[in-house]
Structure 1
Amino acid sequence: MITGHFGLAAAVKSFERPVPLWGLMLGTVWLDVVFVPLYISGVEHIDPLPGTDGGYGDGIIYADYTHSLVGALVIAALTGLLMSRWWGRRGGVVVGAVVFSHWLLDLLVHHADLPLLPGNLGDLPRMGFGLWRYHWLTAAIEALLVLVGSALYWRAARRTGGSPGRVNLVTGLMVAFGAVTLALDVAGL
């Protein structure tokens, strides 16, 4: 779902000019950035679903700290608070919301592997609607998010007097980056 996260960042940028696009794009994947060292250290892990090759959406992700509901809220709040130092209170709130949007989008696609509490305290039922079972539907939704987000960004940037060449270049790069990340996701790389 990396591609869909970036599409959301582009859409948010169309409404929130003071926060740089790179900050919004990094914010949308911040939970995964925090996940990486925990994954490398073995604290969080991914198990392939039985009978699959472990490709696009074919894993149960045990990101019990970074991708728990409460963990995501805490990471989002702390990130937003920190970013408010550079981009003001509103910018910090926007970045915090974008960080938390990651969990909401993951809720749609993940199998039931998202815990409510960090470390899956209380062994409560895990959440996830499991759209990853339908690879092409998920890929189509991600592509749509990138295209709509890029179109909103392009329209807003053109309205606010951005250089047409730069606006077209950035929009083209977003679409190309979205296509590459989506292709890598689908290929299971």
Structure 2
Amino acid sequence: MFIGHFAPALIVAARPKAAGLGTLFVAAQLIDIGFASLLIAGVEAMRIVPGITAMNPMDLHHMPYTHSLLGALIWAAIFGAAIWFATKRKEAAIGAALVVASHWFIDLLVHIPDLTLYGLPPKLGFGLWNHPSIAMPLEIALIGGAFIYYWRRTEAPAG
């Protein structure tokens, strides 16, 4: 899942007191930004295994800090707190935190069992990456539906 992660950002951005759309797009990808950073630092790990899934060759075998539910909730809380300190807007902070947290739940749909609740087994994932004929339309439907929702609920600034 990639563009599907932006669907919650569009939905939250349609709320009147939400953080800006750019901020919410960062929130949508914060878990993967964190993963890339921790991967480079050697804290989390992956390997390329051709054929591990039908859609990508990544064996994401060690992601306890970014792709565990607990880790995602901690990232969400930190990001939400940063938004609150920057804006003093509770609604913006909560919305941004929810977008960060949504990443784990959306990943749960497509990942093979490599996600955890708190960094240790059991490993979870519904494996839609092995079913492109389901995963691709689902991702398009998520982002398409969210875009239509955003488009209908917002207006461009006048002038």
Q: What TM-score do the two structures reach when normalised by structure 1?
A: 0.75
Count of residues in Structure 1 that have an aligned counterpart in Structure 2: 157
Asked if 1:66 is matched to 2:66, the reply is yes
Query: Deviating runs (4+, > 4 A) in structure 1?
Result: none
Alignment of 1:33-52 (within 5 A): 33-49=33-49, 52=51
Q: CA deviation at 1:48?
A: 3.7
The structure in which a higher percent of residues are helix is: 1
Query: Any idea what the Cα deviations from partners look like across 1:158-184, whole Å, max 9, x if unmatched?
Result: 3xxx258x9xxxxxxxxxxxxxxxxxx
| Alignment correspondent of 1:125 | 122
Give the share of equivalent positions with the same residue, in percent.
32
Aligned mates of 2:142, 2:9 — CA distance in 1:
10
Q: Counterpart amino acid of 1:56?
A: M
1:134 corresponding residue in structure 2: 131
Distance 2:157 2:57 in 1: 42
CA-based RMSD of the aligned residues comes to 2.2
Q: Helix, strand or coil: the match of 1:4?
A: helix
Determine the structure 2 residue equivalent to 1:157. 154
- Structure 1 distance, partners of 2:29, 2:45, is 17
- Tell me if 1:75 matches 2:75: yes
Q: Map Cα deviations across residues 113-170 of structure 1 (whole Å, 9 max, x no partner).
A: 012223x2xxx21111111111231111111111111111111113xxx258x9xxxx
Q: Is the 8 A contact 1:57 1:135 kept in 2?
A: no
Q: What does 1:93-112 correspond to in 2, within 5 Å?
A: 93-112=94-113
Q: How far is the alpha carbon of 1:63 from its aligned partner?
A: 1.5
Q: Which runs of 5+ in 1 are unaligned?
A: 167-189
Quote the residue 1:180 is aligned against: none
Q: After TM superposition, give the deviation of residue 110 of structure 1 in Å.
A: 0.7
TM-score, reference length from structure 2: 0.87
